[in-house]
Amino acid sequence: MIAHIKGTLTTITINSVVVDVHGVGYQIFVSNPYESKQNTEVFFHTYHHIREDINVLYGFKTLEDKDMYIRLLSVKGVGPKVAMTILATTSSSMVIHAIDTEDVAFLKKIPGIGPKAAGQIILDLKGKLATNLETPANQNQNEAIEVLLALGYTKKEIDFALKGVGTVEVEVEVIVKAALKNIMR
């Protein structure tokens, strides 16, 4: 099992990156490959998915995302690609919140997730995910992200817009306004 990889990012494709580690190139499927820059040093927590007909590495920036991915794989009907789509579309903390509040509508907005799959995710994971890790500042940032998603912005645009925006003890409205200013630049 390959737990993590650190090396130089050499290639970026539509859904994966290649990381060179001492002359060996590892193809790693990631949720947002364009977050990283080519020819820079990168670090990914990895999940090594092995089946009879496939041997693939999936990469994550944080252990929280890797843990969420593994939890999503335990849900009946959710495979590696759907789990990766969920993490590409939204954050782990927002998925946890949607599961805990049984927000089927939020989960159905994710590509590839219909009402049946959303219900199965909630059924299989409700009460099994840690939710006490959020601070009020993170809750405000998550609410701001939800507002921006509702306005039609993509996760990638939102992540870019929130860079440099201070979110510690800041109201949701202030975070949204600052993010919108960054988007309009």
Give the model's confidence band at 58: pLDDT under 50 very low, under 70 low, under 90 confident, else very high.
Answer: very high
Selection from 35, 34, 181, 159 nearest residue 91 by Cα: 159
Name the residue with higher pLDDT: 19 or 150: 19
Q: How many angstroms separate the Cα of 120 from the Cα of each of 67, 98, 125, 170?
A: 18, 13, 8, 35
pTM of the model: 0.67
Residue-wise pLDDT for 134-158, tens only, equals 445 567 777 788 788 778 887 778 8
Span 174-180, mean pLDDT? 83
C-beta atoms surrounding 65 within 10 Å: 20
CA dist., res. 36 & res. 180, Å (int): 23
Cβ pair 7, 21 in contact under 8 A? yes
